[in-house]
Amino acid sequence: MNIVIALVIFIIGGIGGFFATRLLSNSNQEQRKLAEQVNKSEAALDQYKLDVADHLSSSAKLLEQMNSTCQTAMKQMQESTQLLQQATTVEVENMPFFSAETQQQLAQTATLRHQKRSTDTVDSITEAPLDYSDNPSGLFADQKQTVTTAE
C-alpha cells in the first residue's frame, strides 16, 4: 500500500508540477514578449534619433547654401545699385530718351500730321459732316405732316 500511496502522490505531484510550470511558463512567455517589445521599441527609438540627426544636419547644410546664395544676391544688388547711381549722376540731361533715328521719324510724322490738319480744317468749313444728308426731309421741322393711311 505504501507503494500505491507513493505512486498516487507522485502522479498528483507530477500533474500539479505540470500545471505549475504551465502557469509559470505563461507568465515567463509574457515577460519574454514584453522584453522583445521593449527591445524593438528601443531599437526603433535609436533609429528615429539617427534619422532626426541626419535630417537636422542636411537641413543645416541647406540653410548654409541658402545663406551663401542670399549673400551673393545681396552683393549683386549692391553692385547694380551702385552702377545705377553712377549712371544717373553722369549725364542724365545729355542722354536722349529716344535714339536719333526714332527722333527723326517722330519729327517727320509730326510735320505730316500738322500739314494734314491744316488742309482738313479748310475742307471741313465748307462741307457738312458726313453723317448729315444733303437733302433734308423736314421730318424734324415744326411743321405738321400729312398722314397718309392706306384704306
User: Which cell is 74 given?
Assistant: 545681396
Domain-located, residue 62: yes
pTM of the model: 0.39
Q: Which domain holds residue 28?
A: 1-91
User: Is residue 72 in a domain?
Assistant: yes
- Does residue 38 belong to any structural domain of this protein? yes
Contact 98, 106 (CB under 8 A): yes
Please list the pLDDT of the chain residue by residue as tens digits (151 residues): 788 888 889 899 999 888 888 777 777 788 888 999 999 999 999 999 999 999 999 999 999 999 999 999 999 999 999 988 887 765 555 667 778 888 888 888 888 877 655 555 555 566 666 666 667 666 666 666 677 776 5
DSSP state of 147: P
Rg of the chain taking only CA atoms, in angstroms: 54
d(CA 100, CA 94): 13
Q: Is residue 68 part of a domain?
A: yes
Q: What is the DSSP string of 92-127?
A: TTTS-SS-HHHHHHHHHHHHHHHHHHHHHHHHHHHS
The Cα 60–Cα 54 span in angstroms is 10
Domain tally for the chain?
1
